Structure 1
Amino acid sequence: MTSSGTPPDGRAARWAGQRERRRREFVEAGMRAIARYGPEASTEQIADEAGVARTRIYKHFADTADLQRAIALRAAEMIGAQFTPLWGSSHTARGMVHATIGAHIEWLSEHRELYQYLMRQSVTGPRDVVADVKTAIARQLTALFEYYLGLFSVDQNIGETIAYGLVGLVESATARWLDAPRGIERADLRDLLARWVWSIIDDTLRANGIALNPDAPLSELDFRRVGETP
């Protein structure tokens, strides 16, 4: 014990690590409860899934909103883990768009209860947890777009605007499709959204004088200035 009455750094670090571990365990219990009980899963059901009393959860979370945000951040991590391997340089631009959108549609389809839970909390809770997830995805895309825009000597400041716009387009269209597919198959939705997304990206590049070959490996940077002979 130090003269100030606080535990030594080693003990403080161990306690912080234990606290973080318990928070993760409760978040995972929340995921299981949502899968079991649906988007209406309550804090009591999450506590039951974790095998503790509800009050125990509040020893590790400030309130229900804090728990909901932690679940939203975990969902964002899961989506990011699914997307990141798709963003390698071996993909073509068009192939990367198709793969990313396909993965997003697949994730939302397989975690529909979780997504609906997040949507529900965004409406009834004190914060928009779905916006937290979309922001996390958009930030990853922003970094990706800024990297390639820099290679093309295009203003990188537009990368964030493009990223947030595309995430909003794909997320809202897919969310509506989950509720009312109207006979549209998953592959058809992917192709439709991918065509729209590529059109936006292509238009942005062309407005800055770049014509990118969408079917060439990105590692080769097969592009030309608009107006040049192919």
Structure 2
Amino acid sequence: MTTVGRPRRAPVRGVRDGRDVRWEAHRTERRRQLVEAALRAVRAHGAGVGMDEIATEAGTSKTVLYRHLGDRAGLYRAVVEAVDGRILADLAQARATGDDVVERIAAMVRSYLRLVEQDPEIYRFVMTRPLETTEVDPADPVHQLTDRIAEQLGAILREHLETVGHPDAATLAPLWGHMVVGMVRSASEHRLTRPVEDAQDAETLARAVVALLRPALTDTHP
């Protein structure tokens, strides 16, 4: 006699096993901890920090670092991502400060410069690209960050130029946004090469940027 069993239930697509969800949460948290350890190691040992020093700071092995972050390139990108989040959050807060366009931009510039002032080794680590990446590579994380900052600045500038009726607002705003980013980055990198006693503070550099911007934004018509 043949027994006909119940038909097998097909797996439900899109439904994840609870263990998978818990393991993914664990991996995410472990990755966050390793990135925080990497940031501490950079602050302690400088931008040329090695994987051994990062592993020691994390209290683990290089094998674990590679397992969670892929390789040194993965570590670098994870650190840049963490720094990006901090910079963009600070800039968004500064962007909402006041109504005067120059002061809003000055607040964003000041926020960026203070990061350089307070965390110079992190800034060096990110900007000097310890890996084989270049600024002309569209996938370069530094290039992507500066593009996002320039877009924020460009949005503020376009809003202002359109409000005052400038005929070239759409063309000038994104250009000026990138120009401000380039100017601030150049000033930041110059500052890091100076002896501590000769370096200008974030407030001084921000005022210098404002001095250049205000005439251009006051005389808004060609």
Q: Which residue of 1 aligns with 2:153?
A: 141
Q: Measured at CA, do residues 89 and 115 of structure 1 come closer, stay the same or move farther in structure 2, by a change above 3 Å?
A: closer
* Counterpart mapping for 1:1-230 below 5 A: 8-11=15-18, 12-88=20-96, 90-121=98-129, 124-127=131-134, 128-149=140-161, 151=163, 155-156=169-170, 158-180=172-194, 183=198, 185-186=200-201, 187-202=203-218, 205-207=220-222
* 3-state SS, counterpart of residue 59 of structure 1: helix
What percentage of aligned pairs have identical amino acids? 24
Q: Measured at CA, do residues 41 and 132 of structure 1 come closer, stay the same or move farther in structure 2, by a change above 3 Å?
A: farther
TM-score of the pair, normalised by structure 1: 0.73
- Give the Å deviation of 1:132: 3.7
Deviations 1:63-112 (A, max 9, x none): 21121011112112111222222222634223223322222222101110
Structure 2 unaligned regions, length at least 5: 1-8, 135-139
2:102–2:213 Cα contact (<8 Å) kept: no
Deviations 1:128-172 (A, max 9, x none): 543343233223334444454555566445433322221111111
For residue 98 of structure 2, what is the amino acid of its counterpart? S
For residue 147 of structure 2, what is the amino acid of its counterpart? T
Moved more, 134-143 or 78-87: 134-143
* 3-state SS, counterpart of residue 206 of structure 1: coil
2:101–2:160 Cα contact (<8 Å) kept: no
Structure 1 unaligned regions, length at least 5: 208-230
2:69–2:78 Cα contact (<8 Å) kept: no
**Higher normalized contact order (CA 8 Å, seq sep 6+, divided by chain length):** 1
Q: Measured at CA, do residues 68 and 10 of structure 1 come closer, stay the same or move farther in structure 2, by a change above 3 Å?
A: same
Aligned-residue CA RMSD (Å) = 3.0
2:192–2:199 Cα contact (<8 Å) kept: no
TM-score of the pair, normalised by structure 2: 0.76
For residue 71 of structure 2, what is the amino acid of its counterpart? D
